[in-house]
Amino acid sequence: EAAEYYRGQRVPERMEEALNALFPLRPEDLYGELANYFSKYSKAPVICKLVGRKVLNGVGQPTLEVEIYCKIKNCEKRICSTVMSSHSQIPENALLEAIEADEKERNASVNTAVEWVNLSLNTMLRDLKPTDQCQIDKMLGEYFTNKVEEKMKIQEEQEEAEAVTSRTSSPAPSVKKKEAKPGKKSSVAEKPVPPAEPAEPVLCGSLAIGGTSLAIAKAGATISHVPLYLYIALLKHDQESPEEMTLPLPMVTLLNCEKISPTKLKLVKEVMLMPPVQLSLKQGIERILDIQKEMTRLLEFPGKMSISQLGDSRKAKAQNPEKKGPSQFLKRISHLGCLTTGYDDLEQLLLLMQAACNNIGLKLGTDMYLAINCAAHELMDYDKGKYEILTGTFKSPDEMVAMYVKLIDKFPFIIALIDPLRKEDRQQWINICRALGSKCYLIAEDAATHISKLKIDQNINIPMCSGVILKYINQTKVSDLIELTGILDGQRHITILGSPDGESSDDSLVDLAVGVGARFIKLGGLSRGERVTKYNRLLAIEEELAKNRTLREAKLEFIAFTEESQPEDQLPDVLPPPKKD
């Protein structure tokens, strides 16, 4: 019976093949080599267990961890885990009640996500191969759709019950309330601005979908013995291995300018440094660190100083050795991993940046470039119908466009503006793209919706822009990200992968960015462990690609927008020289 069993599995034949193959080699570890030889005949690993766990992200907020266990050679083995990043839609100046409600909602969402992973998804994905990413993502999408429909059904039933209760308690219809709404015409706006679109609802527990999809991709890469970035690239290119890969250029946050600080400037949320493409990533990071050190030193000086005084700050510090402690400008390291400061006007900030670079022998516009995150959606005063760019200074959407044109003309080393306008001001997006698109990237972050809502009938539901910042959060699946970046590539939009506010220590975002071929990556500053670990991963990938001779040099390609509102590529290999110092 035993002989028949082993012959049926071709064991004697394969044993003889193994012994004949290994004898000439006489390996030092014979049994290890035998194990390697026979492993190719073993069954493919299958998922045997998913474990969901509530953990903390980099800012101490609850989030979801998903672990994948597979059955490999008759043993249950832990393959990998992923920790999801969380993104809050609550602005900096939100009321305490809104913040507390958001925290309560986030906590409930994580608890629900843990329950989904440990119960429903654990059962649903058992015995599937972790390398079947598309099939698993499809199942996850169907599961999520069913949950959305369940919630809608419950809401409809509640609304019907409330309607019945209101009819029995007070039969008189509430006509007065309906008449009161159109009467709100107290706005002093010159032109009515489009109202803000409601925040996209996030289904409680949706983290489970994105977390499980990403964990499956990591497990598939581990089992396939390839790095995650290459595994993602293979998924995007139908299993054809790319001959060369390009690293995304980093947008490194240097300053986080608080919009609720006592200082006046509200227009700027983040100031980011972008190294020139001629530098390696390692050289670019080193240069940014030098600028960061010099900026920290300049910001430690109290009071307002002219540029000439700033340029001679080394002498000033030598003459005042007893003057210590941070000034009103420098406060702390923000959750974005950068310096937190405040300014009274934008020019003051930009001149200080120029002084810092000049002090260490660098020139903005040649040796380093700037990007500014305006976060314009946080500036709109809906009573006035205008953006408050400085405390007490307001501009209409059309005036904002004119202001940005003057800004880029005066400071041509600014090569990217993120969210210069709200997504609702679509005509102004068209105007600013036509005016500045050929010399500056105009990027939508908040002005673009979540990945799951961006794709509508193979089109991108965003205002006209140069590119989009995508964030891997909530119910986003790896297949969604790959599909959407393919559409963006086809429509000549650039892809930027961005790090959410509630970042975790998981560095998978970097592999996703490299794998899908993102043009830029926005990870925050060069402080805080959850952000630095991603830069370290990017450096490791650069080293690996250079070693394999598969690293392609990146290019900066601005886009010129025609009158027909269709972007046409303008392809300079390097940035045009600055118009003036």
CATH no., domain 243-301+330-548? 3.20.20.120
Give the SS3 label for residue 170: coil
Question: Measured between alpha carbons, how far is 165 from 567 in angstroms, rounded to an integer?
Answer: 55
CATH 3.30.390.10 placement within the chain:
45-149+201-224
The residue from 118, 146, 474, 536 that is catalytic is 474
pTM: 0.86
CATH 3.30.390.10 fits domain 45-149+201-224: yes
CA distances from 502 to 52, 125, 499, 505, 537 (A): 19, 28, 8, 10, 19
Max Cα-Cα span within the chain = 96
Structure-derived torsion over alpha carbons of residues 152, 156, 158, 164, reported in degrees to the nearest 10 = 180
Cα-Cα-Cα-Cα dihedral sign, residues 571, 569, 510, 442: positive
For the chain, 581 residues long, give each residue's pLDDT as a single digit of tens. 999 999 999 999 999 999 999 999 999 999 999 999 999 899 999 999 999 999 999 888 999 999 999 999 999 999 999 999 987 766 666 678 888 888 899 999 999 999 999 999 999 999 999 999 999 999 999 999 999 999 999 988 888 888 887 777 665 555 444 444 444 444 444 567 888 877 778 899 999 999 999 999 999 999 999 999 999 999 999 999 899 999 999 999 999 987 666 778 899 999 999 999 999 999 999 999 999 999 999 888 644 444 444 444 444 444 444 444 334 455 678 889 998 888 888 998 999 999 999 999 999 999 999 999 999 998 999 999 999 999 899 999 999 999 999 999 999 999 999 999 999 999 999 999 999 999 999 999 987 766 666 765 556 667 889 999 999 988 999 999 999 999 888 887 889 999 888 889 999 999 999 999 999 999 999 999 999 999 999 999 999 999 999 998 888 878 778 765 444 443 333 333 344 44
CATH 3.20.20.120 placement within the chain:
243-301+330-548
- For the chain, the C-alpha Rg in angstroms (whole number) is 28
Tell me if residue 474 is catalytic.
yes
Q: 71 - beta bridge partners? A: 46, 76
